[in-house]
Amino acid sequence: MRIPRLILSSVLSFFTTLACAQSFPTQSIKLLVPYGPGSGTDVIARLLAKLAGPELGQSLIIENKPGANGTLGASQLINAKPDGYLLSIVPVGIFRQQHVVQTNLDPLKHLTFISSLVDYNYLIAVRADSRWKSVKELAADAQTHPGYPFGSPGIFSTPQLSMEAFARAGNFKVTHVPYKSASDIVTGLMSGQVDIFVGAGSPALDGFIKDGRARLLASLSERRLESYPNVPTLKEEGFNVVALSPFGVVGPIGMDPAIINKLDRAFAIAIKNQEFSDMVKRNLMEIKYMGPKEYQEYAEKTAVLEKEQMQLLLKSMPKN
């Protein structure tokens, strides 16, 4: 009996796909990082690549794509092959971007959510020579001297929106200066371009804090940081602002479940490594692991929430 050509082709295609998934990976994997070299995200991604590579049997090559509020990496995946060889780190801002600027990226339509890794702890810091010893002093001063410049990773980024929420809660005004990465904001702070740092922890910021050239005023987390137990949260200081922002690894839409699971397993093992835990703590972050199913569910819920929040925010903004 002759097997119809269409059926034969489908069967061959199935077994070819299965064989590819089982042998994956057979070459190095490129992992895009949507922030600059030396940023906290970059440092975490490079260590993840180092630890996950041996589990996969292939190296993970880091390529930095800073700018556009951390969405440039994900944007590269829109038309990419879903073969697992091009991945990207993504922040929560990818769910927000399509509602505020023109972009081709729709996270739920274009991305496969593989593993959530770490949750940023956002910080408010100033130079050591600043007159402000607390966020209450900053708020009180800015009420009578509006317009102090603050740096964040970009317009409509979580740090920028959180600082604007703090300003509304404290009844003062500040001026936003966008940067491409947290390390760039640190440079801007220490050179006097901005008076206030609002962003994720990074080795650069931590170094200036430890040598006494910068001062942490508050964190935007739910509880005090283990690394800085004497630094209050913004909420503790009377300003009801908390910023949660996990980041993880995604690939193009349509990836084979077997490849997704292989990648997730390697990342989950890497996260459990003590070296990874230590690096996360040094960068004032926290491990926030989610596997593919949980991460997909988180993405779907967050997409709805961010859309609602951005619609409310845009309605409240003054029209030009």
Write the DSSP assignment of 245-307 as a string of letters: EEEEEEEETT--HHHHHHHHHHHHHHHHSHHHHHHHHHTT-EEEEE-HHHHHHHHHHHHHHHH
Residue 237 lies in a domain: no
pLDDT in tens, 45-86: 999 999 999 999 999 999 999 888 789 999 999 999 999 999
Q: Are residues 199 and 215 in the same domain?
A: yes
d(CA 62, CA 53): 12
Q: Are residues 267 and 295 in the same domain?
A: yes
Domain that holds residue 308: 26-119+244-316
- Alpha-carbon dihedral angle through residues 144, 122, 159, 134, given to the nearest 10 degrees: 0
d(CA 169, CA 124): 15
Q: Is the pLDDT of residue 130 over 50?
A: yes
Indicate which CATH number applies to the domain containing 210: 3.40.190.10
Q: Are residues 200 and 132 in the same domain?
A: yes
Tokens at residue 82, please? 């879903």
Q: How many domains does the chain have?
A: 2
pLDDT tier for residue 13 given thresholds of 50, 70 and 90: very low
Residue 57 lies in a domain: yes
CA angle 38, 265, 292 (to 5 degrees): 90
Q: Are strands 214-219 and 122-127 parallel, antiparallel or unpaired?
A: antiparallel
d(CA 198, CA 184): 11
Q: Which residue bears the tokens 């927000």? A: 96
Tokens at residue 303, please? 């997409």
d(CA 265, CA 268): 5
User: Which residue, 219, 234, 261, sits at the end of a domain?
Assistant: 219
pLDDT in tens, 271-319: 999 999 999 988 888 899 999 999 999 999 999 988 888 877 766 655 5
- What global pTM score does this model have? 0.81
* End-to-end C-alpha distance for the chain, whole angstroms: 74
Indicate which CATH number applies to the domain containing 81: 3.40.190.150
d(CA 234, CA 134): 10
Tokens at residue 16, please? 């070819």
pLDDT in tens, 180-209: 777 889 999 999 999 999 998 777 888 899
Q: Are residues 59 and 148 in the same domain?
A: no
Q: Are residues 113 and 127 in the same domain?
A: no
User: Which residue, 219, 234, 260, sits at the end of a domain?
Assistant: 219
Q: Which amino acid is at 250?
A: V
CB 115 within 8 Å of CB 291: yes
Highest mean pLDDT among 33-37, 130-134, 198-202: 130-134
Q: Indicate the angle between helix axes 158-170 and 135-144, nearest 10 degrees.
A: 70
Higher pLDDT, 176 or 2: 176
Q: Which residue bears the tokens 């988180």? A: 298
d(CA 172, CA 145): 9
Q: Are residues 108 and 43 in the same domain?
A: yes
Q: Are residues 208 and 60 in the same domain?
A: no
Q: Are strands 245-252 and 60-64 parallel, antiparallel or unpaired?
A: unpaired
Residue 56 lies in a domain: yes
Q: Are residues 107 and 194 in the same domain?
A: no
